[in-house]
Each structure stands twice: as C-alpha cells, then as structure tokens.
Amino acid sequence: MAPDRFLEEYGGQSTNEMIALASDYRLDSIIIAFHQAMDQKAARVGTASLTEEEQIILAVEALETEVNNGGYGQFFVNACEYVSTIVPSLDRIACPATARITQAAIAALGIRGTLTVDAIERAMAEEDETRDVTMNELDSAYCDAKEDIAGRLFEFIKANRDRIVLTP
C-alpha cells in the first residue's frame, strides 16, 4: 500500500535522503519537494548552472503544476521559460503521450520561427478563440492521458541521482 503522508516541504535533504522518503511519503509530495530544492538551487547558482537532469525536474514539475491548476494557457503564461525544453524533457522521463499532447499545445500557439519567451508571451497576449478551444481540448487530453508523470519523474531521478545534487 502506498503511503498517504504528504511531505510538506523540502528540508535540506540530499538526493539519496529524498529518494529514501518514498517508503514514508506520497510520491507526488516528494516530487514537489525536489522541485522546491531545484528552485532554491537555481536561485543560488542560476538555472544555466543546473545539470540537464535538474532542469528536467523544473520543466516537468512546472508543466504538472500549471496545467493541473489552469491548463496549458496557464503553463504558457506562468512558465514559458520551459516551453522550448518540455517536450524533450517528457521524452526523457518516458511520458510519450504527454509529450505528444504538449507538442500539440505548443503548435496551437501558432508561433513561426524560434520558440522564444518573447514569442510565447506575444502569442498568449493575442485574442485567439480557435487556439483557446484547441487548448481546452488538449487540457482534457492531458488529464485523460493518465500517464504517471510523478512516478516516471521519480524513476528518472533515481536513475540519474548522481547528476541531481540538492545540497551545496
């Protein structure tokens, strides 16, 4: 039986200590704590200094948080810095259905050329009923896909623990 205790926040544990918490805490809460740890590390050293694996944690958890709370539109507004890396990140953690759905949401933005933060912000600032209808459909598809994103991200973290450093 899976634990039902929720880890309230990241408390300075190492990667291995966080992984060991899976026997006592809900997996989704551990993933949230990993995200908090990566946010803290990025604030200290800069996002560019994070390993690719650490950046994947940030991107995937940003997608999960934003789409579950307000759909792809919210992801594109609140976490647009991850848009250019989210599909490869989902592929890396073995979430192909979510990667396909997310790629379709990105395509719905209608951006021609390079997918930059500015281009995403401009696209989202424009009124576009067709895009909004498409994104609503993709929000539903995201929920219906039922890929175990947290579980797959946790397996990815375990497999790449040597490239994910939580403490300085």
Query: Residue 154 sits in a domain of what CATH number?
Result: 1.20.1420.60
Residue ranges making up the domain that contains 57:
15-163
Q: Specify whether the CB–CB gap between 62 and 89 falls below 8 A.
A: no
The residue type at 115? L
| Amino acid 1: pLDDT | 65
Distance separating alpha carbons of residues 92 and 103, to the nearest angstrom: 14
pLDDT digits (tens, 9 = 90+) for 93-147: 999 999 999 999 999 999 998 999 999 999 999 999 999 999 999 999 999 999 9
SS3 content of the chain, % helix, strand, coil (to 5): 75, 0, 25
- Residue 7 placed within a domain: no
pLDDT digits (tens, 9 = 90+) for 26-64: 999 999 999 999 999 999 999 999 999 999 999 999 999
Distance separating alpha carbons of residues 93 and 39, to the nearest angstrom: 19
| Amino acid 167: pLDDT | 73
- Residue 2 placed within a domain: no
- Residue 49 placed within a domain: yes
The dihedral region occupied by 116, where left means phi > 0, alpha psi between -120 and 50, and beta the remainder, is beta
- Residue 10 placed within a domain: no
Query: In total, how many domains does the chain have?
Result: 1
